[in-house]
Structure formats: C-alpha cells, structure tokens
Structure 1
Amino acid sequence: METQTAASAAQRNPGTADSSLTGENEIYSLITRRLLPVLLTAFCIAYLDRINVGLAKLQMASDLGFSDAVYGFGAGIFYLAYAIFEVPSNLIMHRVGARRWIARIAVSWGLVSMCMLFVRTPASFYALRLLLGMAECGLFPGIILYLTYWYPAHRRGRIVALFMAALPISGLVGGPLSGWIMQRFAGMSGLHGWQWLFFIEALPAVAIGVVIWFVLPDRVNDARWLTDDQKRVIARNIATENAEKPSANTSSVFTNPRIWLMSLMLFAFATGNMGISFWLPTIVQRAGHGSSLSVGLLTAIPYAFAAVAMIALSMSSDKRRERRWHLALPAFAGAALLALSTVWSNDLTMTIVTMTAASMCVFAVAPLLWAQPTALLSGSAAAAGIAMISSLGNLAGLFSPSLFGYLTVRTHSTSAGMFLLAGFMLLGGLLSLVTPARLVNK
C-alpha cells in the first residue's frame, strides 16, 4: 500500500519522484562506499590465494617433479570441498551473521594457504588444496547473499559486478606481484620462490579477517552510519521486492528446475573462467618462454581489460533491465575467441591479444548470472539456493583444470584444452536464453 501511494504521488508530482529517486541513490551510494571496499578486498585476496598456484607452478612443478596432470588435479580438487560445504556454510551465516562468519572464513583460509609452503608430494598438495577449499568455500556465496540484504534486484547487477571485479583485479595485481615475489625471494632462508609466494600472499587474508570483524555490520539495522529514515527506505525496498518473489522454503530449492538450470549455466561459464585463471601463466610462458616476473606482468593485461568489461556490461544490463542477451552475446564471443587463440599459440603478441579479448567476454558474464537467483529467492531459501548454485557450478573448478591438464599431457599442446573451454562458453550462452525473460529482467 505504501509503495502504491508513493507511486500515485509520483504521478501527480513528477518533481517529487525525481527528488525521492535522488535521495535513494545517495543512500545506496553511501552503502556502496561503506561496504564494497572491504568486501572487494576480501574476495580479491581470497581469489589470489586460490589461483596463485597457477604462477607457483612455473617453479613448483620442476622443483617437485609434478606433471601437468598432477597440477591440474591439485588445482581443481579445491572445488570438491567447495561444493560439499557451501550450502551448510551459507545457512550458518544466515543464522549467526555475516561479520563473525566471514571473518572466520578469512582467517582460516589464510592460515591454510600459508601451509602450502610445506608441500613436498602430490598427496600433500592435494590435501592442502582440499583443506583450502573447506576453509574458503563460504566466502563468495556468503557475500552474494549478504548483498541481497541491502540492494534490490535492479541495483544488484552493477554492485555484484563491482564486487566480482575482484577476480580480474586479483589477476591484474597478483600476476606481477607473484612473479616478483618468486624472483626476488628465491633461495632466501633456504626456501624456494614459490614457498615465499604462498607465505607472503596468505598474510593479507588473516589481516582482512580482523578488519571484517570490526567494520562489517551484520544487517541494515546494525549500520551505525545510516539514519533511521535511511534504514526504513532500504527495508521498504527489500520487503517490496521479497513480496513479489514466489514463496519458497529451504528444501524446495533442491527440486527447483530453475536453480538446477542456473547451476548448469554457472558450471559452463566457470569452466571457461577457471580454465583461464589456472592456465593463463602456462599458456603465456609456452608462447614466449619468459621468466616468472615477465609472465606475471603479461598475464596482468587480460585481467585489466576484463575488469573494465565486467563493470561496463553490468551497468548496461542494469540500465536496460535486461539479462539474457547481455549474458549470451559475450558468451558466444568468448567461445569464438578462445577457439581462435589456438591459431597463434606460438605467437606471444597474438596470444596476449586473443586471450585479452576472450577474458573480457568470459569474466564479464559472471555478475549477470548471479543477479538471477537473487531476484528469485529470499530469506533462508536464498541462502540455500545461492550456495547450491555456487557449489554445483563451481564443480567446474575440479573438472576444468584437471581435464585441461590431462589434455595437455596427452596432446603436448594447450589447444585441445582451449577448445574445451570454448565449447562450455557456447553451452552457457545457449542456456542463458532458456530462462524466461520475465523472471530475470529486473
């Protein structure tokens, strides 16, 4: 009734509507300035600790005698634990609050990541990657759920994109940083460069966990930097949106065909995303035979452009309130570019050009996908649904690096792996057109 009254008043007095919208924009800008820096930083650190094994491989594989198949399986087994523990983690966070749970996640994954310096055998490599997945699994779906407490669906695409810009940013910063650490600290105190890499890059995770404990409010009502009137505006917007969503309980999400469809879409897109994240340093090194530092610097280029593309595409999608074609077209383009990159696999310049263009498309689709389940679910159903999509979709992290590594060993080339990634991006684009527009264009 309150929303209808406001709408009627806006029709009688358009100036009032403009003023109200301006006021809401200011509120959400304040929320973004307060929450996004710490959330983006946390995910950036987490993703760096997840994928820095890609650059560590350049030294680690030869030092420990690991084949591409061993590396691929170790990189991917992280996501097995991720899939098993995400749903319970999100349900716990919904119950106990974001502040303490996300802080716990950050500190525990930092400590486990630090222990990677003790890897000596394939078994210890697999075990620590599995433990890292257990420690870090709840961070991403937890933050996606957390954002639904603050932002309505039509504002969420851009915000999720800004948050998920941590993925390319971690590659942009982490590539040169990781290469420099491995080169600068190699041999210091009797440790290899890759050992120093894991130790040094784990420290910020513990630090961000402490920061989160002190600065992150659990819910809107806990934000001391919002006035009571501002809190009421946010609560009204979220309540209005939730009232329009179909009713659902926690158990119903496991039989919801749209949740399974989105899980499959995420699996397809994540196959491309994670294939690039874990194998880009190897692809660049084989094209140009550079040092760890030069490879790290070159891998930053695709990530820099991907960050811009991710935000630009999501802003366009939010403005037009259109999701499906904003997902499908970049997915199709990404598939074509990944396949095309095999033509110049021995040309460093063309490899960087095609991988940059492909990365822009592959990374840009993820935020738009995550705008869909949050527009359909609320409460504990959202907690379970988001975690289920993330856990099933991120099984691609077990599948993609492992199969890429197997194909590389069998064919002595990364080309077969690139066609694999291209095929799944094509599948993801086709699946995105299956979802009815009325359910996701919000």
Structure 2
Amino acid sequence: MAHSPALHQGQDVTRDALYRRITLRLIPFIFICYLFNYLDRVNVGFAKLQMLDALKFSETVYGLGAGIFFIGYVLCGLPSNLALNRFGPRRWIAVMMIVWGTLSTCLLFVTTPLEFYALRLLTGAAEAGFFPGVVLYLARWFPADRRGRIMALFMSAIPVSGLLGGPFSGWVLEHFSAGQHGLAGWQWMFLIQGVPTVVLGVLAIVLLSDGYQKAAWLSPSERQVIEADLRADAASKPVTTHDSVLSVLTHPLIWTFGFVYFCIQSGVYAINFWLPSIIKSMGFDSALLIGWLSAIPYLLAGVFMILVGRSADLRNERRWHLVVPMLMGAIGLLIAVNFAQTPTIAILGLSIATMGALTGLPMFWPVPTALLSASTAVAGLAIINSVGQMAGFLSPYLVGFIKDQTGSTDAALYSLAGLIVVGSLVALRVTRAAALKPAAAG
C-alpha cells in the first residue's frame, strides 16, 4: 500500500508499533486455533498407522475417509463465511471450533467405514468457514503491505502442527499401544488432540474482538490509523464492481485463483496425509521414529515460510515469491519418488516439497485479498478456498486408490507434481494479467 509523502518518520515508527501490538494481541491465539484446526484435519494420517489394521480398512477406504472431509468443507465454505459476516467473527469462530472439536474427538468411536465417512464429512462441514473467515478477519485489521508476513505467521501453524504433532502423535500411538483404559493408541490420539479445540472455542468468545472498531484496547486515534490504511487499500484495488454472490460466482478471476490454490493444496495434502506412510515405506517401523522423521520437513518449512513472507513484504513482490515455492513443491516430490530407496535423499526431497508447498499457501492469499473489494471478498475468498480444498478430497483418495492398484504411490506423486507445475504457470499468467501494482499487491 502506498503511503502519503507527508507521513513523517516518527509517524511511521508509531504506525509500526501499532501493528506490532495488534499482531501480538491477535496472532498468537489465532495461531494456536489454526494449529489445532490443522491437526484435527490431518491427524488421520498418523491414526492410519494403527487404525487400518484394527478396523480392517483398505487403503481406498482410508483415502476416501480422509478425502470426504473436504466434500463437507466445500459445500459449507460459502454459507459459513456468510454466517461469519452476519453474526460476527468472535461468535462464529467459537461455534465452529466447539462443534468440529467435538466431532473430531468422536472419531475414536468409529468401527465401520460408514461411521468414518460420516464423521469426517460432518467435521469438514463444521471447519469450513474457519480458514477463509480468519483470512477475511485479518484483512480487516492489517493493510495490504503487511499481509505477507502476517499470513506467514498465521499459516506457520501448518508446519508447526507437523513439527509438534508428528512426534507427539507417534508418542501417543506407541505409549498407548497396549490399550490403556480400553482405548487403542489411535483412539487416545483423537481424544487428546480433539478436546483442546473445544476449550479454545470457549476462549475465543473472551479473547477475540469482532473488529478494530470494537476493540476496547485500541485508542480512537489508533482506530483512525487503521481505518485510513484500509481505506487507502480499498481505493487501490482494481476489482471493485462485483458485489453480489451471483456476480462473484461468475467472475473468471476468482475461479482462476481457485484453480491455482487447488494445485497448491494438492501437493500440501499429499504430504500431510501420506508423509507418515511414505516414511514407513522407506523401512522405518517405529511410530515414534516416524513421528520424529516427519517433523524434519515441517521444521524446515516453518522457517522457510516466515523468511519468504518477510522477503515478499520488504520487496513488495508477490509473483515470484508464490511461483518459486510452488515449483519447489513439485521438484521435491519428484526427488522423493525417484530416490525412495535412499532414505536420506528421499527425506531431503520431502523436505523441499514441504517447504515449497506450505510456503505457497501464505504467499498465495495476499494476492486475491489485494484484488478483491471488501464486499466481494466475503464470498470470493470462501469460493477460492472451497475450490482449493477440493484437492483435499482428490489428493488423498487418488494416492490411496493408485497405491491399492499398483502397490506404490509413485504414479500418484508424479501426477500431483505435474499439477503443481501447471498451477505455477497459471499463477504466472494471472498475476501478470491482473497488472498488480507493487503498492496494491500486499
């Protein structure tokens, strides 16, 4: 976002201090909420190590159960975001977290494929509005020139969930493998990781404000600074005329962004749902060791994500900060496939893939939030997110189906790598066609 030449250095310092205070007030809690959101979404990847044998599920049943989550997610994404806009972020985020935390915990009672499918579908529906709602929420607090680092901080919860969740999930599976109190290790995992989400949902009522206008901890002058920044953002956006849901649904730019996000998420979910199984196929049998090895790619991804987010803001550049990580995701998957018999190189490939694919997520969102008007963003961000999340159904199901048919995940990972490359080419084209100015690209 461009700032007035009359703005003095002292005012810049004050403005920086204001946004640092807002960041410290909002991001830690939202970060923790998203960490458990992502953990509850993908922890079936670790549960699979014991769950399939215990319940006699096939790889295809697992892939469909992992993926059907996203059918509910896609169907409820837009209405949930509209509800958030109607009832306010504080209340709606709390409701979503309490409901999905309860449903995720109930996965410990699953005994049949139908029960598995039903709970995953309902959990997806409950979670649908959380991520696009938070993106919309943050866009109403932070101006465009700060969203790269803010989105990177917020979305670093994804690699952190893998960094902490991998070893912790492996420990739970191994520690409770004897079936303490009548529950198997995978059942304890759903219980221990689901209940905190319900608690966080209750806390959201107390800790979140619906917007800067209602934040009692901001002074009137601080609210005026935020309002002026966001108003300047709105004036610089090239897309301002598409306000109704119908017009958003027919806007080609939104569907193009949705496709790019779909390609990014295809790689992300292939990694999230299959990383433990891929590491196991390299010859590692201990659930705890698999957990620690799976943490390596997420640790590197978390550091890389924050560094790239900071670089994108400092340089006011979005295009290559998005495309290069996407290409890294594809290259990393290809390395992992071709060196599967050499664990060190394969894990290096998985690390490159994880760093690239996960960094593509926060580098993607500042682009559509910079281009869409405030009224368009409510429906537009939900649609883009829903289209992208369809990859969450396709990717794990495709990998599971191909593994059942061929005994290997190689062909599926080749396909997903190719899809990411196509998405990166489309991203290059759409960012050029949109004629993003550095000031508006935030």
Give TM-score, length-normalised by structure 2.
Answer: 0.95
* Secondary structure of the corresponding residue to residue 365 of structure 1: helix
Q: Which residue of the partner structure matches residue 249 of structure 1?
A: 243
How far is the alpha carbon of 1:39 from its aligned partner?
0.5
Q: Which residue of the partner structure matches residue 395 of structure 2?
A: 400
- Match among 15, 35, 57 for residue 24 of structure 1: 15
Q: Which residue of the partner structure matches residue 4 of structure 2?
A: 7
Any stretches of 5+ residues in structure 1 without a counterpart?
11-15
Please show how residues 280-359 of structure 1 align to structure 2 within 5 Å: 280-359=275-354
With over 3 angstroms needed to count, the CA separation of the structure-2 counterparts of 1:440 and 1:126, relative to structure 1, is farther
Q: Which residue of the partner structure matches residue 409 of structure 2?
A: 414
Identity of aligned residues (%): 44
Counterparts of 1:194 and 1:51, CA distance in 2: 13
How far is the alpha carbon of 1:440 from its aligned partner?
6.6
* Secondary structure of the corresponding residue to residue 120 of structure 1: coil
Cα contact 2:334–2:349 (8 A) shared by 1: no
Offset from partner CA, 1:68-124 (integer Å, 9 cap, x none): 111111100000010011111111111211100001111101100110011111111
Moved more, 260-269 or 332-341: 332-341
| Alignment root-mean-square deviation, CA | 1.5
Counterparts of 1:140 and 1:308, CA distance in 2: 21
How far is the alpha carbon of 1:190 from its aligned partner?
1.4
AA aligned to 2:101 is: G
Q: Which residue of the partner structure matches residue 118 of structure 2?
A: 127
Residue 34 of structure 2 is aligned to residue 72 of structure 1: no
Cα contact 1:111–1:206 (8 A) shared by 2: yes
- Match among 23, 26, 29 for residue 38 of structure 1: 29
* Secondary structure of the corresponding residue to residue 7 of structure 1: coil
* Secondary structure of the corresponding residue to residue 4 of structure 2: helix
* Secondary structure of the corresponding residue to residue 364 of structure 1: helix
Counterparts of 1:286 and 1:171, CA distance in 2: 19
Q: Which residue of the partner structure matches residue 162 of structure 1?
A: 153
Cα contact 2:172–2:185 (8 A) shared by 1: yes
Cα contact 1:76–1:399 (8 A) shared by 2: yes
Q: Which residue of the partner structure matches residue 190 of structure 1?
A: 182
Moved more, 18-27 or 396-405: 18-27
How far is the alpha carbon of 1:7 from its aligned partner?
2.8
Q: Which residue of the partner structure matches residue 137 of structure 1?
A: 128
* Secondary structure of the corresponding residue to residue 429 of structure 2: coil
Counterparts of 1:114 and 1:64, CA distance in 2: 17
- Match among 99, 108, 112 for residue 117 of structure 1: 108
* Secondary structure of the corresponding residue to residue 217 of structure 1: coil
AA aligned to 1:54 is: G
Any stretches of 5+ residues in structure 2 without a counterpart?
none
Residue 89 of structure 2 is aligned to residue 98 of structure 1: yes
Q: Which residue of the partner structure matches residue 47 of structure 1?
A: 38
* Secondary structure of the corresponding residue to residue 143 of structure 1: helix
Counterparts of 2:312 and 2:15, CA distance in 1: 20
Moved more, 325-334 or 168-177: 325-334
Cα contact 2:335–2:345 (8 A) shared by 1: no
Offset from partner CA, 1:233-280 (integer Å, 9 cap, x none): 001111121123223203221111110110000000100000000000
Cα contact 1:375–1:440 (8 A) shared by 2: no
- Return structure 1 stretches of 4+ with deviation > 6 angstroms: none
How far is the alpha carbon of 1:182 from its aligned partner?
1.4
Q: Which residue of the partner structure matches residue 13 of structure 1?
A: none
How far is the alpha carbon of 1:379 from its aligned partner?
2.8
How far is the alpha carbon of 1:380 from its aligned partner?
3.2
How far is the alpha carbon of 1:427 from its aligned partner?
1.2
How far is the alpha carbon of 1:194 from its aligned partner?
0.4
Counterparts of 1:430 and 1:143, CA distance in 2: 28
